[in-house]
A and B are shown apart, each in its own frame.
Chain A
Amino acid sequence: AQTVTQSQPEMSVQEAETVTLSCTYDTSESNYYLFWYKQPPSRQMILVIRQEAYKQQNATENRFSVNFQKAAKSFSLKISDSQLGDTAMYFCRNNFGNEKLTFGTGTRLTIIP
């Protein structure tokens, strides 16, 4: 089965600190995308960052970066200089081949002022 696992149901960190959210996955595909989505409380799901499996370079978007370890099937999200607006549910998501785009169970991140 092709799955996505997030092992941290909740995390909290002080404002301005760095936090890393974990995601592991399992697939037999060789080429695929991985995504991190953010869902603030009662708000829309938005894309944070994506990683293409064939690229060795880790994706970066401003304060957000990934640590993609293809051999280990790990795809963690690092948020630097965390801000109050980063408080949200974070979901890791795959697109393995023609799969239906499975979400992980999510990590609830709280940024403490």
Chain B
Amino acid sequence: DTGVSQDPRHKITKRGQNVTFRCDPISEHNRLYWYRQTLGQGPEFLTYFQNEAQLEKSRLLSDRFSAERPKGSFSTLEIQRTEQGDSAMYLCASSFHDTEAFFGQGTRLTVV
């Protein structure tokens, strides 16, 4: 399968723990996006990369969130000191420049 891959699919963690998610984009795509989605809502932009450069980060994003794309291929999203309000689906998408983005299946995070 050559689509966008996210790992893990589900994560349950205790409040205060750190979690890290991984996204493998479609191989020729230079842009990679992270979104957060809660039930019944549209995806909320978190950040995006062009190659290895992080070009924009949402002002709503807490300092507890950090993302990397070290070699311009896969990306990781880390949440430190998780809170119950972080419970959501985390979506990754990739695109070739500014054309259509393709989405992964998401990582569902539950903070207990």
Q: Per-position contact with B for A62-103: 1 when CB-CB < 8 Å, else 0? A: 000000000000000000000000000101000101101111
Residues of chain A within 8 A of B101, CB atoms compared: 35, 47, 101
Residue A46 lies at the interface, judged by CB distance under 8 Å to chain B: yes
Residues of chain B within 8 A of A47, CB atoms compared: 100-102
Contact of B103 among A46, A50, A98, A104 (CB under 8 A): A46
Residue A56 lies at the interface, judged by CB distance under 8 Å to chain B: no
Residues of chain B within 8 A of A35, CB atoms compared: 100-101
Q: Measured between alpha carbons, how far is A44 from B98 in the docked complex, in Å?
A: 21
Q: Which of B1-58 contact A (CB under 8 A)?
A: 33, 35, 41-43, 45, 48, 55-56, 58
Residue B105 lies at the interface, judged by CB distance under 8 Å to chain A: yes
Residue A60 lies at the interface, judged by CB distance under 8 Å to chain B: no
Q: Measured between alpha carbons, how far is A33 from B97 in the docked complex, in Å?
A: 12
- Inter-subunit contact A33/B106 (CB<8 Å): no
- Residues of chain A at the chain B interface (Cβ within 8 Å): 33, 35, 37, 44-47, 50, 89, 91, 95, 97-98, 100-106
- Residues of chain B at the chain A interface (Cβ within 8 Å): 33, 35, 41-43, 45, 48, 55-56, 58, 91, 93, 98-106
